[in-house]
Amino acid sequence: MVNPPPPGRLGRTFHDTLSGYLRGLSPHSRRFWLLVPLTGAIAGLAAVGSVHYLQLIQRLGWGEPDDLLRGARAASWLRRLTVPAIGGVVLVAIELLLHAQPQGHGTSHLIEAIWVRQGKVRLRSAIAHGLLCLTVVGLGASLGREGALVYFGAATGSWLGRRFGIEGDQLKLLVACGASAGIAAAYNTPIGGALFALEVFLGGLALDLYGPLIFASVTATLISRALLFDHPSYVIPHYRLEHASELLLYLVLGVIIGGLSAVLVTTVEVSTKWVAALPRRLKRFLPIPALVLVGAVGIFYPEVFGNGYFTVNQALAGGLALQLLLILPLLKLLCSTLCASAGVPGALFTPSLYIGGLAGGAFGVAAHHLFPNVVGSTGGYVLVGMGAILAGSTHATLAAALLLFELTGSYDLILPLLAASVVATAVSRSITPESIYTAPLKRRGVELPRIARPAWMQREGVRSLVRDDAPRVPLDASLETVLLKLAQLGDGDELYAIDAAGGLRGAISLEAVRQVLAEQPELRLIVAADLLHATPAVSVDASLWDVTRRALASGTGHLPVLSPREGNRFVGTISIREILAAAAKPGA
């Protein structure tokens, strides 16, 4: 048995390994990797500061720093009406003073900043937006505080990257690192936060991007845990799947929540379009009547105030009556939509958990009534409803399930959570193809890639891997010449026919020769032009990502390369095999 190295030697080994890795990087990449944990650390400190600031606002507004709901319940009806209204007045006054435009929920703006504005997010705007968000949420706006942390984290990554000369894809990735760190610090979910940023902000599951995201998220979470607390944001009693047949009920819940997710996305979009049609002067003042209406609802149902943590925890513990489980999700949906469309800063992430969780709780109560021998506690249905609506509204299925697992610290429900999330996403997509984050982008005409592109495919273009010795013949080449050329090619390779100007006119395969020979008895009359078939081609200026996608779509291992600057002159070929070989090289 081999004894483990002593702690001192282990630490030294780690230090030497990390130092060696950093020394092997270019100065540009080294700066990037040093900025990743710095971005996470700042996001973690911002999370700590946001909690204390939110508690201060809640104390001023409701006299209760730690539990907004308890303070609102103890308040008079007049205070329930006026405190949110004061938040609207403060918001409009500050925005007029700063000449700022109302933003509402801003995650779509961050996605646009990453893909369209090359990762440029203004830090000063993010700080002002974050403070306003925390202020109005603390005073009762029916939105989530996490919007402030995500926006600030992304802006921090952008500011640090530009200040230290980080550009291109690495700057975009650093912005996503800041956003993931904000989510992780806000919810105490380092893995889920990183995966959520990967699916939502970067549009896919490219694992070569996951390392920096998880590094930033873990750093932010460590700081927030050290200075605040270390436990899940939502707490439920121990629960597990007692009967396999109960999984069918969770699938039914997934269908229901999928439809509810589509309703949420559509409601937010329709209301936002209505507001966009209003005169610009009027839109500036909309937060005031919107928050007055929220206050009016809160007179009777103070559970709609704020992000709704305390109400969801009550539902998880089975402490809400069926009447509230049915009414509150609808009221929260209306109030949150009203705030978001009116330009009140905040996030829809937490309100969506509220809506899905309470709807899931209502389903659980009904299921328990119908199947008392199968369904026990309803807390599991609250949890699965939260994950399902997050998946259905964001279309980030895996990240949603993992986030909810980390939020609750409960592994027992991972199977129904995943199943319901997949079903909810499928149902929601079939009704509304766009998510709650991409729908605003589509409305503004912003097109985004659907799959994150591996970095190495963007660092190198087609030109670096073109083979200029591709087999070619003129259009008037004889059949004998064509056959001699084809005999020298490997299986699946094609011969390319070139006109007098050097342009590609088509490709010739052995199968095409056989077909022509069967139809044309006069072999002397056959030339290369008689054997052509169309073939997809790529520009010499294209990226390796575009080549790979085009080759996979056409089912070929080689593609001809043309030069648009020279009248689409044929310059050679590029193969998928060589692209994969380039990817396998160190540093790719």
Q: What is the mean pLDDT of the chain?
A: 83
The pLDDT of residue 386 is above 50: yes
Please give the share of the chain, as a percent, with pLDDT higher than 90.
37
Give the mean pLDDT of 258-262: 97
pLDDT at 388 over 90: yes
Between 100 and 341, the more confident residue is 341
Mean pLDDT, range 238-258, rounded to an integer: 85
CATH number 1.10.3080.10 given to 27-227: yes
Please tell me the predicted confidence (pLDDT) of residue 271: 93
User: Could you give the residue ranges of the DSSP H alpha helices within 244-348?
Assistant: 246-276, 280-284, 287-300, 309-316, 322-342
Whether 587 shows a pLDDT value over 60: the answer reads no
Least confident residue range of 190-199, 254-263, 396-405, 445-454: 445-454
Q: Determine the Cα–Cα distance for residues 348 and 404; give it in Å rounded to an integer.
A: 16
Q: Which amino acid is at 474?
A: P
Token output for 509: 């395969």
Query: 197 near 181, Cβ under 8 Å?
Result: no
| Alpha-carbon span 259 to 275, nearest angstrom | 24
| CA distances from residue 540 to 27, 465, 561, 569 in whole angstroms, order as listed | 29, 10, 6, 10
- pLDDT, tens digit, for every residue of 199-231? 888 776 666 677 889 999 999 999 988 887 655
Confidence category of residue 481, pLDDT binned at 50, 70, 90: confident
What are the phi and psi torsion angles at 562 (to 5°)? -115, 155
- Write the burial class of residue 157 (CB in 10 Å: 0-12 exposed, 13-18 middle, 19+ buried): buried
pLDDT digits (tens, 9 = 90+) for 261-314: 999 999 999 999 899 888 888 888 999 999 999 999 999 999 999 989 889 989
The CATH number for 455-584, chosen from 3.90.25.10, 1.10.1670.10, 3.10.580.10, 3.30.1320.10, is: 3.10.580.10
Least confident of 42-51, 124-133, 301-310, 461-470: 461-470
Beta carbons of 264 and 385 less than 8 angstroms apart: no
Provide the pLDDT for residue 588: 47
**40: closest CA among 227, 168, 174?**
174
Say if CB 336 and CB 147 are below 8 A apart. Answer: no
Domains 27-227 and 246-443 equal at CATH topology level: yes
Q: Which of 381, 138, 357 is nearest to 249 (CA)?
A: 381
Helix H or strand E segment including 67: none
For domain 246-443, give the CATH number. Answer: 1.10.3080.10
Torsions phi, psi for 352 (to 5 deg): -65, -35
Please report the pLDDT score of residue 2 as a whole number.
Answer: 42
- Give the model confidence (pLDDT) of 389-410 as tens digits: 999 999 888 888 888 877 766 6
**Chain center to CA of 578:** 31
What pLDDT does residue 336 have? Answer: 96
- Residue 99 above 80 pLDDT? no
Q: Rounded to an integer, what distance in angstroms lies between the CA atom of residue 378 and that of residue 317? A: 8
CA distances from 391 to 182, 339, 431 (A): 19, 22, 14
CB 548 within 8 A of CB 576: yes
Look at residue 15 and tell me whether its pLDDT is greater than 70. Answer: no
Write down the domain spans for the chain.
27-227, 246-443, 455-584
Catalogue the long-range contacts made by 489-495 (C-beta closer than 8 Å, 24 or more residues apart). 492/556, 492/557, 492/558, 493/558, 494/535, 494/558, 495/471
